[in-house]
Amino acid sequence: MKANILWADDEIDLLKPHILFLEDKGYNVTAVCSGTDALEELQGKAVDLVLLDEQMPGPSGLDTLREIKRRWPAIPVVMVTKSEEEYVMEDALGGKISDYLVKPVSPSQLLLTVKRLTEGHQLRQEHSLVDYQRQFRELSLQLDGGLDADGWCDMQRRLVRWDLELSNLDDRNVHDILMTQRKDANRLFCKYFEIHYPQWLQGLEEKPLMSHTLLRERLFPLLEGDQSVFLIVIDNFRYDQWKTVQPILSQYMRVERDEPYYALIPTTTQFARNAMFAGLLPGEIERKYPQYWVNEDEDGHKNQFESELLSENLKRHGLNLKHSYHKVLNAQYGMKLIDRIPELLRNKLNVVVYNFIDMLSHARTDSHIVRELASDERAYRSLTLSWMEHSPLLSLIKALADRKAVVLLTTDHGSVRIDRPVRVKGDRDISVNLRYKQGRLLDYNPRDVFEVKKPESIFLPRRHVTGNYIFCRENDFFAYPNNYNQYVQYYTDTFQHGGISMEEVLVPVAVLCTK
């Protein structure tokens, strides 16, 4: 069904050929001669688009526009003007009008504008559907043919792109097909990762960009320039969340580089983020800096020495520079940091850690209200976007946009939506994470997990002589036999991390520069 168009122009008779042209294309056009008549028509008629002459006797086009936007703000309005006055273009950019046309208007130009504003959503959906149908077979062939480390990063980019694009389709069946393809990709990724991960760490294969090499390979080269560098770490930040908020940040700073990198396992703050700041693998941190490593069975926060590990990392690489470290746990502290920007810019390096996404993930597990608000990945991304739009992080980006600064934005790991329980037993010292376990006397089905009997083979600390590590794959999570049903019901469909999946392991790092 074509749209209803209202066209107001004091010379409407001269526009009869254009009206007939639109009607021939199937649109319903109502023509009036003044702004007053236009407002009367809008009161009793469903209108999808208003074409409004800028200069009319009586209420002018701009006066009529203001009244339309006050009473019917959702109706798109196209201003038709005789000259490209600057204030008309400013109104267009400001969102008061959806577009403007300069007289004399050509039929093709008119049709293009009308089609975009009345059918744009449907046309974009159809275009996305056709594009994905073309790409589906290509993606499947690449998955079946086998991918290397860089190939999996590219696959993550492409699947996230389609996830974002197809999640807005009215036809959910198409998005479900993509989710099935993503599930297949995750299964194959886990197989690939389990084979190659130990070989990367042992130096038997060339390794991709990983947690413990991230600062050396992406941050340290930025420190060679004459700008102040800000390392921004958003805890538990998935690649799809990054691509969701990227357009907002791009309004203020230019994204010069954007890529996924490989987080270490276990994909938790204790292991992945400590490794990032230290530039060392977890087992190496425990040996070299035992005073900065806190085991799971010990008291204290597991990442309380990030600043010290960073300082040691800089020192080992001969980078004796002035730097600062800040952890933002609430908006008040985040906004206080903005006031200190002139002071921070005197440092060569400033590190800012934001913990909101991780808190959101835990809140979604514990709160029924948050779980309803973030019912799936699409809604989870939406909450992330809402936070970013009102966050102290965006205020920091805005403040840095006009200054001589560069930003390296990244995370320590991602999270995955879990839905399949895997039974596990252990002694009282077994670790509590839902996606990995370490301890003695672990009882499990080896087919259900990625088991590491020798933790030192992937440079993990060994808590006990007989202790080993097991990791969940894809969307699995560990459940104990005691109170099994209650436990499973509580944690199913929550976002967790610690195991192996594309969502947890392939996470974003981006360089943002001033425009």
Say if residue 18's pLDDT is above 80.
yes
Q: How far apart (Å, rounded) are the C-alpha atoms in residues 510 and 17?
A: 52
* Per-residue pLDDT tens digits for 269-318: 999 999 999 999 999 999 999 999 987 666 557 688 999 999 999 999 99
Q: How many residues are present in the chain?
A: 515
Cα–Cα distance for residue pair 22/86, rounded to 1 Å: 29
- For every residue of 66-134, DSSP letters joined together read HHHHHH-TTS-EEEEESS--HHHHHHHHTTSSSEEEESSPPHHHHHHHHHHHHHHHHHHHHHHHHHHHH
- Assess whether pLDDT exceeds 70 at residue 122: yes
CATH architecture entry for 211-416+504-514:
3-Layer(aba) Sandwich (3.40)
Of the spans 20-29, 91-100, 109-118, which averages the highest pLDDT?
20-29
pLDDT band at 426; cut points 50, 70, 90: confident
Q: 204-228: per-residue pLDDT in tens?
A: 999 999 999 999 999 999 999 899 9
Angle, alpha carbons 148-498-478 (nearest 5°): 115
Helix axes 356-366, 377-389, angle to 10 degrees: 130
| pLDDT for residue 1 | 62
Report DSSP letters for 319-378, one per residue.
----EEEEEE-SHHHHHHHHHTHHHHTTSSEEEEEE-HHHHHHHHHHH-HHHHHHT-SHH
What CATH topology corresponds to 4-105? Rossmann fold (3.40.50)
Quick one: what percent of the chain has pLDDT higher than 70? 93
Per-residue DSSP letter, 167: T
Residue 3 gets which letter from DSSP? P
pLDDT tens digits along 68-113:
888 888 899 998 887 666 666 666 556 578 888 888 888 888 988 8
The C-alpha atoms of residue 175 and residue 229 are separated, in whole angstroms, by 39
Task: Show the CA angle centred on residue 413, arms to residues 411 and 418, nearest 5°.
Answer: 140
Question: How far is residue 285's CA from residue 297's CA, in Å, rounded to a whole number?
Answer: 17
More confident site: 92 or 454: 454
**CA nearest 352: which of 364, 366, 337, 340?**
337
The stretch 445-456 carries a mean pLDDT of: 94
Beta carbons of 28 and 3 less than 8 angstroms apart:
yes
Q: Where are the domains of the chain?
A: 4-105, 120-201, 211-416+504-514, 419-492
pLDDT per residue over 230-271, tens digit each?
A: 999 999 999 999 999 999 999 999 999 999 999 999 999 999
Is pLDDT of 428 > 90? no
Cα–Cα distance, 48 to 2 (Å, whole number): 10
Mean pLDDT of 397-401: 94
pLDDT bin (cut points 50, 70, 90) of residue 364 is low
CA-to-CA distance for 241 and 89, rounded, in angstroms?
Answer: 33
Average pLDDT value for residue range 109-124: 81
CA distance 101 to 51: 9
Largest Cα–Cα distance of the chain, in whole Å?
92
At residue 102, the pLDDT reads 86
